[in-house]
C-alpha cells in the first residue's frame, strides 16, 4: 500500500521542533576532534538540560562520593560520552507529551526507545564503528519510533484502532498503521527528523527500520538499529509490547553472524547501560 504523503506532511507539521541545544550537542560530538569545553558550554546554555543532567549524575546509579554541581565536573567524573548521551536523551524525553494517548504507556515507550538506542550503539561498537559515529546509532535508536507517540497524540482514535489491530492479529504495528492511517510511524519519524535537519544517513535509517527486507545493502546503522529494535521488543512483556517481533532478513542475519538471541551476551556494557536507563526513568 502507498503512503498518503499529504496527510503525513500535514500531521508532521503539527509536531514539535527539536531544541537547538541538543542539535548542537550532536554536531559537536560528530566531530572526532571536538573539544570538551565546547560541549560543556553548549549544555550549560540550556538550564533545563543542565539541571536534569546534574540530577542524574548525582543519583544513586553513579554512586559518586561528592555532589557534582557543574557540567564541567560531570564530564570529569563520568566522561563526555556519557554526558552527551544523557543530554540528548533528556531533550528527547522533554518533547514527548506528558500523557500518552491511544492506549500507549509513556513509560513503556521511553523504556523501549532508550533500550533500542543503547543496543544500537553497543552493536555498532561491537562491529568496529568509530566512537564519534556511534552518536548517530544512539540517536537513530532513540528516535526510531518518535512518530508513534506523536502521531497517537494527534489522531487518537485512528491510532488506537491501529494498536488494537496489531495486538489482536499479532502483527507489526507499521502494518496495522498502514491499514488504518495510510502511512506508518517509520515514515512519520523519518519525515520529522528530516524536518529537524538530522544527517541524511540517520533519516534513511529511521525510514527503513521496517523495510530491511527491501534493502540490497543495509548500512551498519540500519542493521544495528533493526536488530536493537527487535531485541528491545523481545525484552518487553506482552502488556508493554504493541508490535510483534519481526523476522531478521537473511542479509542482516549474515552481517550479524550469530543468532539474535545471543547478541546481548556479547555486549560487555549492556547491564551497566540498562541500569542507567532505570536511573533515567526515575528522573
Extract the C-alpha cell encoding 122.
553497543
For every one of its 283 residues, what pLDDT tens digit does the chain have, with 9 covering 90 and above? 456 788 888 888 998 888 888 888 888 887 878 888 999 999 999 998 999 999 999 998 888 989 999 999 999 999 888 898 888 888 888 888 887 788 898 899 999 999 999 999 999 999 999 988 998 999 999 999 999 998 998 899 999 999 999 999 999 999 999 999 999 999 999 999 999 889 999 999 999 999 999 999 999 999 999 999 999 999 999 888 999 999 999 999 999 999 999 999 999 999 999 998 988 887 7
Q: CA 212, CA 132: separation in Å to the nearest integer?
A: 25
**Domains assigned to the chain:** 5-281 (1.10.3210.10)
pTM of the model: 0.90
Amino acid at each position: 500500500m502507498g503512503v498518503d504523503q499529504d496527510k503525513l506532511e500535514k500531521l508532521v507539521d503539527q509536531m514539535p521542533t527539536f531544541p537547538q541545544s541538543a542539535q548542537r550537542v550532536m554536531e559537536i560530538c560528530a566531530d572526532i576532534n571536538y573539544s570538551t569545553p565546547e560541549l560543556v558550554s553548549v549544555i550549560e546554555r540550556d538550564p533545563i538540560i543542565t539541571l536534569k543532567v546534574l540530577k542524574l549524575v548525582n543519583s544513586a546509579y553513579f554512586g559518586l562520593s561528592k555532589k557534582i554541581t557543574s557540567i564541567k565536573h560531570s564530564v570529569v567524573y563520568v566522561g563526555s560520552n556519557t554526558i552527551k548521551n544523557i543530554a540528548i536523551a533528556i531533550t528527547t524525553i522533554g518533547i514527548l507529551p506528558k500523557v500518552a494517548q491511544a492506549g500507549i504507556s509513556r513509560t513503556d515507550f521511553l523504556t523501549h526507545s532508550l533500550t533500542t538506542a543503547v543496543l544500537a550503539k553497543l552493536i555498532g561498537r561491537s562491529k568496529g564503528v568509530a566512537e564519534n559515529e556511534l552518536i548517530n546509532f544512539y540517536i537513530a535508536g532513540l528516535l526510531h519510533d518518535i512518530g508513534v507517540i506523536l502521531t497517537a497524540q494527534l489522531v487518537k482514535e485512528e491510532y488506537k484502532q491501529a494498536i488494537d489491530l496489531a495486538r489482536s492479529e499479532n502483527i507489526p504495528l507499521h502494518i496495522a498503521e498502514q491499514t488504518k492511517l495510510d502511512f506508518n510511524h517509520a515514515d512519520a519519524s523519518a519525515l520529522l527528523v528530516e524536518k529537524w535537519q538530522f544527517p541524511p544517513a540517520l533519516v534513511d535509517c529511521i525510514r527503513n527500520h521496517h523495510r530491511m527486507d527491501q534493502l540490497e545493502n543495509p548500512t551498519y546503522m540500519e542493521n544495528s538499529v533493526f536488530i536493537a529494535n527487535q531485541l528491545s521488543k523481545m525484552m518487553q512483556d506482552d502488556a508493554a509490547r504493541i508490535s510483534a517481533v519481526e523476522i531478521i532478513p537473511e542479509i542482516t542475519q549474515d552481517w550479524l553472524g550469530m543468532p539474535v538471541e545471543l547478541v546481548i551476551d556479547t555486549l560487555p556494557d549492556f547491564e551497566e547501560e540498562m541500569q542507567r536507563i532505570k536511573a533515567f526513568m526515575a528522573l
